[in-house]
Homo-oligomer: A and B are copies of this chain.
Amino acid sequence: MSLLVVGSVAFDTVKTPFGQVDEVLGGSATYFSVAASYFTQVRLVAVVGTDFGEAPRALLKARGIDLTGLEVAPGRTFRWSGEYSVDLNDRTTHATHLNVFETFRPKLRKEDAGARFLFLGNIDPDLQRDVLAQVKPGFSACDTMNFWIEGKSDSVKRLLAGVDGLVINDSEARLLAGETNTVAAARRLMDLGLKFLVVKRGEFGAALFHGPHTFMVPAYPVERPIDPTGAGDSFAGGFMGYLARERRTTGPALRQAMVYGTVLASFCVEDFSLRRLTAITFKSIEARARALRDTMDVNGPTRRG
């Protein structure tokens, strides 16, 4: 089942205590697409500049990602640069140059309408709603960030009434709900009409709220994380990719999707850019999924499913 994603493609300059990379491939939709590509056919709708060469394009194509919707606009591709703290839990942004992304208007094709699975990456909520109205997907989820929550709160809330789910960072969930406690924030956001909510907590894992239920997944225990950039987007890609592959969005399917989202995020942080995420196999994903389920198995550790 194909999965449509709309979001950003960027070149990142990143410094962590473990090294530095300059102008490497990044962007929320990029990480999402590569992570999801292990599960399903992904169609990427985004914009790049004329400086977006053959190498990054080949990397995405090698993962079977459909780039027909990757628009090339006159100008430079989105640039981001930032630096992480010693424990990787805090980051400082040094520069954000939106470039061609600033005037991005997602162009959907006729065949995009009716896509079964849609993920609306972190772009202007007005644009997210516009895409949603055009595609009318069977199942949709979105992300957003503090910039839009602070600047276009009403538009974000209208968006939430139209999608099935929201996949968001902990601090942004609390900001959006106006609550200091995550559980209270989740209850309030669910009341906006969501069928499910995923709250991402970095090295502390993620929480799924679906109907009256709560499900918690720990982070996969990575001993030597190198660069957390894109981990949240890889989580979303693994999560949505799994659902698209399974063609089910029931409670148990959402819970399993949380496991696969976590696994893809764990690979992402083990190297800079998409290096590790493009060098794995489905077998290695399944092995980590089993290990992760074992870390959650109160009847473990000897039982094997």
How near does chain B come to A183, taking the closest CB pair, in angstroms? 4
Within 8 Å of chain B (Cβ to Cβ): is A298?
yes
Within 8 Å of chain B (Cβ to Cβ): is A256?
yes
Q: Mark A137-169, 1 if CB is under 8 A from B, else 0.
A: 000000000000000000000000000000000
How near does chain B come to A22, taking the closest CB pair, in angstroms? 24
Complex contact B224–A216 (CB within 8 A): no
- Count of chain copies: 2
CA distance A255 to B294 in the complex (A): 11
A205 / chain B contacts, CB cutoff of 8 Å: 204-205, 216, 218
| Chain B residue at minimum C-beta to C-beta distance from A298 | B255
How near does chain B come to A153, taking the closest CB pair, in angstroms? 20
Complex contact B87–A295 (CB within 8 A): no
Question: Which of A4-12, A61-69, A106-114, A207-215 lies at the interface?
Answer: A207-215
Within 8 Å of chain B (Cβ to Cβ): is A131?
no
Using CB atoms and an 8 Å cutoff, list the residues of chain A in contact with chain B. 17, 86-88, 174, 180-184, 187, 201, 203-205, 207, 210, 213-216, 218, 221-225, 251-252, 255-256, 258-259, 293-302
